[in-house]
Amino acid sequence: MPGTFYIEQKKVREATEKLRGRTIEDSAAGSWHSGTAPSGEAGDTLLILGEPGVREKVHSLLVDIGGLTPGATITIKLFTRINGVERKVYPPPGTSWVVGTDPDGVWVINGTLAIHDELRVEVESDNAADDGKGIGYTAVVEEME
């Protein structure tokens, strides 16, 4: 049928564009030590990936702690809703990084993580000098259809 090939080719191209994913890079300054994040825990929100009711794959999440105070202990936490109730899903107890001792780049997600709602990333520092400092991040995400 005339025109059918063009329509199908357009659908394939649109689907392929979604599969390419996108890279989100930015930085944020926050009250990493003195703040109270939306979870009620110490720290502040670094970024939010995803949105309610939209399924996405997060392939990678890197967080740069190199600009924080040497010797500070940093905890990176992930929160999402499970059956409508927000829960901490990462890290296991005792997981933290020390600025200047551990690598500056923390690979928080390395592999495919499917999300169905917001995935909030919070950061906490045990050093008051880190309040107001910028923390960089890079995430690679892809729409699911």
CATH number, domain at 113? 2.60.120
Question: pLDDT value at position 3?
Answer: 60
pLDDT for 18 equals: 56
Asked whether residue 65 is domain-assigned, the answer is yes
Cα–Cα nearest to 139, from 23, 57, 21: 23
SS3 11: helix
- 106 falls within a domain: yes
Q: Which residue range forms the structural domain that includes residue 78?
A: 21-143
Please indicate, yes or no, if residue 68 is contained in any of the structural domains: yes
Q: Is residue 16 part of a domain?
A: no
* 33 within some domain: yes
132 inside domain: yes
What is the full per-residue pLDDT of the chain (145 aa) written as tens digits?
A: 566 555 566 665 565 555 568 999 999 999 999 999 999 999 999 999 999 999 999 999 999 999 999 999 999 999 999 999 999 999 988 899 999 999 999 999 999 999 999 999 999 999 999 999 999 999 999 998 7
The Cα 43–Cα 29 span in angstroms is: 11
Split into its structural domains, the chain has a count of 1
| Residue 8 is assigned to a structural domain of this protein | no
User: Is the CB of residue 65 less than 8 Å from the CB of residue 99?
Assistant: yes
- Which residue type, as a one-letter code, is found at position 36? T
Partners of 54 in beta bridges:
51
Q: What is the enclosing helix (H) or strand (E) of 8?
A: helix 4-19
**Torsion 41-46-49-53 (CA) sign:** positive
Q: Residue 31: phi, psi to the nearest 5?
A: -90, 70
According to DSSP, residue 32 is labeled T
* 3-state class (DSSP) for residue 19: helix
